[in-house]
Amino acid sequence: MAIKRQKINIIGVNVNDLLFDEAVDEVLKLAEAKNRGRYVVTVNSEFVMLARRDPKFRQILDKADLALADGQWVVNSKLILGGKEHNRITGVDLLENVCKVASDKAIRIGFLGGFGDVAKTVAKCQKNLNPRLKVVISMAGNPIIGYDLRLIKEFDMIGRVDVLFVAYGMGQQEFWIDRMRKKLNVGVFIGVGGAFDYLAGVKKRAPVLIQKMGLEWFWRLILDPARIWRMRVLPIFLVLVFLNFLKNNIKSKFTK
């Protein structure tokens, strides 16, 4: 079955309307294509609102090979605005499933970001789960420009990396990927935000029931109340999506 490449415009940011398994399959196709500099973004409502304020960030999201619906509110908005797929594709789940499938293929994996030895811990955990997984690099690195030359040398020594998971946090990792994607021999970069912390056990992920209820955002807010500053944009996001929905409906009535 051919992968559906339809994108839904969520108040200025185009998001792929894909099932979870289709998203994993698309990532692996990008990795096996032997191109370089492809990249995947996992979009939540904060991404969308940042893109509205920052044209450069919006351009980076627009150029992504895949823009996946991470946040529950993005999934809901995608459905309201014409999408069909209900799957939420988080950085944590995407990383785990790509590693699982890639372990049976000649795909070389890298983990970059997080604090201290978190990337190494994630790599070790994934190797334990998938013994045949080909991990070629795992390090914290540094997203500042002054670290670029050192990182380029590190990557030159290890050769090709087919999939590189980058955990420098929302926004920062996307700007880093945009800056470095043509300088490193990496097939596909995937920004995964804080996924390393959850996979390494530094932070506790919401129970599965809460995830299925679409309330993982609330769980994170309870454990980290400081997130409320980041989430202050959510009411505005919801209002804009609703207004866009009304606008589209009114437009469609007049064009019939």
pLDDT tens per residue across span 89-133: 999 999 999 999 999 999 999 999 998 999 999 999 999 999 999
Residue 69 belongs to what domain range?
A: 7-205
pLDDT (0 to 100) of residue 217: 67
- pLDDT score for 252: 62
Residue 69 has what pLDDT? 95
Each residue's pLDDT tens digit in the chain (256 positions)? 344 558 999 999 999 999 999 999 999 999 998 899 999 999 999 999 999 999 999 999 999 999 999 988 899 999 999 999 998 999 999 999 999 999 999 999 999 999 899 999 999 999 999 999 999 999 999 999 999 999 999 999 999 999 999 999 989 999 999 999 999 999 999 999 889 999 998 787 667 777 776 777 666 767 777 766 667 777 888 888 888 888 877 766 666 5
220 in a domain, yes or no? no
- The answer as to whether 28 is a domain residue is yes
Calculated CA dihedral for residues 228, 232, 233, 235, nearest 10 degrees:
110
Note whether residue 222 is domain-resident.
Answer: no
Look at residue 247 and tell me if it is in a domain: no
In a domain, 215, yes or no: no
Cβ neighbours of residue 184 under 8 Å, at least 6 residues apart? Answer: 36, 151, 152, 155, 161, 164
Q: How many domains does the chain have?
A: 1
How many Å apart are CA 20 and CA 94, to the nearest integer?
8
Whether 84 is in a domain gets the answer yes
In a domain, 127, yes or no: yes
pLDDT value for 255:
63
Summarize pLDDT for 173-201 with one digit per residue, the tens.
Answer: 999 999 999 999 999 999 998 899 999 98
Domain-embedded: residue 102: yes
What's the CA gap between 87 and 27, in Å, rounded?
16
pLDDT value, residue 29: 95
